[in-house]
Every structure is written in C-alpha cells, then in structure tokens.
Amino acid sequence: MGCVILGVIALVAVAGALVTALVGALLSWVLGPTAFRPGAAGAALVTTALVLVLFAVVAQRGIRRFSQPMDNLIDAASRIEKGDYSAQVPESGPPELTSVARAFNAMSTRLKASDEQRRSFLADVAHELRTPLSVIRGQAEAIADGVYPGDADHVMPILDATRALEVLVEDLRTLVLTEAGSLVLNREHVEPGALVQDVLASFETQSEAFGVSMASAIDSTVPMVDVDPARLRSALANVVSNAIRHTPAGGSIRLEVHNTGEQVGITVQDTGEGIAPNILPRVFQRFVKGPGSTGSGLGLAITHDIITAHGGTIDIQSTVGSGTAVHITLPPAI
C-alpha cells in the first residue's frame, strides 16, 4: 500500500508540474509574456495545491474504504477470542472483504450454536446423572445409619441405579464416538431376519410384563446385510424398548423385514400412544423425550447415529393415539 501511495504521489507531482506549465503558458498568451509572471507563479502554486488536496481526499476515502471493514473484523475476532460468539461484522466494502465478512459471520453463528449445544448437553447430562446418584446415596446412607437393613430388598435399588448409570455412561460414550467419527464397526455378513428374531426373543419377558404382544413378518428373499451385529442389535433394542414402554396393555408390536427397492427395510410398528407433534421433528436429538418418559432421551439419538454409520436411514411416522412406525433401511451386503 505504501509503494502504491508513493507511486501515486510521484504521478501527482508530474501532473502538477504539467498543469502548472499549461496554466503559465495560457496566462502568458492571454496577458503577455511579462504582464503576469507573479500571478502565473501564484496560479501555479494554487493549482498544484488544489491537485494535492484533491488527491489527499480521494486517497483518504479509498484507504478508509479498506481499513474500516478490516477494523471491524479485528474487533469482532477479539470479541470471539474472549468468548463472545455473538460478534458479527457489517457485510460491506469491496467484494473481497464482503466475502470475508460473510464467511466470518457464518463462522461466529456456528460457534454460538455449538457453544449453546455444549452448555445444554452438559446440563442434561448432569440432570440425568443426579437421579441415580441420589438413589445410591440415599439408600447407602440409610443402610449405613441403620434405618434400613442391608438385605436384598434395600440393596436392590442401589444395584438398579448402578445399572442405569452404566447404561447412561455407555450411551454417552457411543454418542461421543459417533460425533467424532471414531465409532468402530466390526462388520459381518448378517441375516437381518435372524437378527430381528434375536431382538424379539430378548424382549419376551418385558413385553409379557407390560401385557404387550409381539410378532414378526420376515421376507425370506431379503439379502444379507454387512453390519456390526452388536451395534445394530443395540439400535433395534432401543426402538423396541421404546415401543413397549409407550404401548398400553393389550397393545401389539410388529417387526417386519422386507425389501425396499435396492435396500433392506426393517419396520417396527406399535399400537401405542404415539408421539406428540411438537416432539416428533426432534426425536433424534439428544435428551429429547415426552412428558412422563422414564428414559434418558438418548436411545433414538444413538439409534440414528448407528444406522447412519452403517450407511442406512431411519424415519419415524407417528399419530397420537394410533401408534408409531419406525422405518429403517440398510444397504445389502456386496
């Protein structure tokens, strides 16, 4: 910028000299060769001064046009460095700086959203950990103080709360791995129908306790899938567990395995209470759950991440009072 300014000053000086010579020649021709020499010199000085002042004004405006957006960017970057992710800059100035300002604003918006999600996530985790820890502490202190005897009936709540903590910690670990792209999948060629039957068998006792019947319909022509059987079984278990908890006694759950175009489809259909319209669009977000739900709100978020990690898709359709259908698609094994 300094070199450019010096070059422009040199050009202005040359232009001033030429203008001075022209003005002097014009005055000499009009007034005579000797009649206006002092005036000619004064006119030359005035002209040169005017040219320099005009250049200074134009140069100042040009430099300001570039410097103001840069000052705004530097100030906003300083605010973000201090943790103020709401910093934005005016998208004005030359096209190049406008593009930079637009990218900066997009970056600060993402940082702000990420920071809000982080704070919300930590608050939700603390809330979910507080309940089982309170149970463990309360029961343990009661037993230690002699209020309760240390028998199986009073130790059982401690064990149940401990298992809930284990599940929550494992769920959080899975979420962290999927978000970081570090979830390890031990893929195998698996028959989807057999996997679904295993999941059904593992929930027989629970479904009977809730008075909910379970059935399956498996298409024998469905190809095998290349999946991590433990991860996929866990994902399906989350869906079935939700269906059982939210289906009243006398209701039913049906699991289907079928071909969906070039994909393998798995559908879990229940006749339960359904999902409220204000919650349905957010069911795959972390810690989202309906009123009265006893879960952590992580099951469907983990299921979504596991299915996505396998290259599949998951979608939910639900009507309050009529039931819910979870549709999963997976690519067939090659």
Tens-digit pLDDT profile for residues 67-116? 777 788 888 888 888 888 888 888 877 788 888 888 988 999 888 888 88
pLDDT digits (tens, 9 = 90+) for 193-231: 999 999 999 999 999 999 999 999 999 899 999 999 999
pLDDT: which is higher, 178 or 144: 144
User: What are the two backbone dihedrals, phi and then psi, of residue 93, each rounded to the nearest 5 degrees?
Assistant: 100, -165
Tell me the backbone φ, ψ of residue 327, rounded to 5 degrees: -110, 125
**pLDDT surpasses 70 at 132:** yes
Are 326 and 193 members of one domain? yes
Which pLDDT score is estimated for 232? 94
Domain co-membership, 326 together with 264 = yes
Edge-first strand listing for the sheet containing 313-319: 213-218, 252-260, 263-270, 323-330, 313-319
Q: At what angle do helices 152-179 and 299-309 cross, to 10 degrees?
A: 40
CB atoms near residue 75 (< 10 Å): 11
Residues 194 and 319 in one domain: yes
Boundary residue ending a domain (152, 179, 206): 179
Residue 95 is assigned to a structural domain of this protein: no
Give the single-character DSSP code of 292. T
Residue 93 lies in a domain: no
CATH number assigned to the domain comprising residue 153: 1.10.287.130
Closest CA to 26 of 10, 47, 11: 47
Q: What are phi and psi of 317, to 5 degrees?
A: -120, 135
**Strand residues in the chain grouped as ranges (E):** 188-190, 213-218, 225-227, 252-260, 263-270, 313-319, 323-330
pLDDT, tens digit (0-9, with 9 covering 90-100), for 33-50 = 554 444 444 555 555 555
The reply to whether 323 falls in a domain is: yes
**pLDDT at 216 (0 to 100):** 94
| Same domain assignment for residues 245 and 293 | yes
Identify whether residues 220 and 259 lie together within a single domain: yes
In a domain, 162, yes or no: yes
Do 313 and 326 touch, CB atoms closer than 8 A? no
Assess whether 28 and 153 both reside in one domain: no
pLDDT for the residue numbered 227: 95
- Shared domain check, 297 and 216: yes
Same domain as 203, residue 167: no
CATH number for 285: 3.30.565.10
Is 8 or 107 the better-scoring residue by pLDDT?
A: 107
Instruction: Kindly state the average pLDDT of the residues 248-262.
Output: 94
Q: Which domain holds residue 116?
A: 100-179
Flag whether 164 is in a domain: yes
Residue percentage of the chain with pLDDT more than 90: 37
Q: Among 18-27, 39-48, 56-65, whose mean pLDDT is lowest?
A: 39-48
Same domain, 173 and 194: no
The answer to whether residues 109 and 80 belong to one domain is: no
In a domain, 184, yes or no: no
Task: In whole angstroms, give the CA distance from residue 118 to residue 112.
Answer: 10
203 and 326 share a domain? Answer: yes
Last residue of some domain: 128, 146, 179? 179
The answer as to whether 236 is a domain residue is yes
The total number of structural domains that make up the chain: 3
Alpha helices (H) in 180-292, listed in sequence order: 192-202, 204-210, 229-245
Domain assignment of residue 94, yes or no: no
Give the end of a domain, one of 157, 179, 201: 179
pLDDT at residue 114, as a whole number: 80
In this predicted structure, what is the pLDDT of residue 21? 59
pLDDT 10s digits, 273-322: 999 999 999 999 887 877 767 667 788 988 999 999 999 999 999 999 89
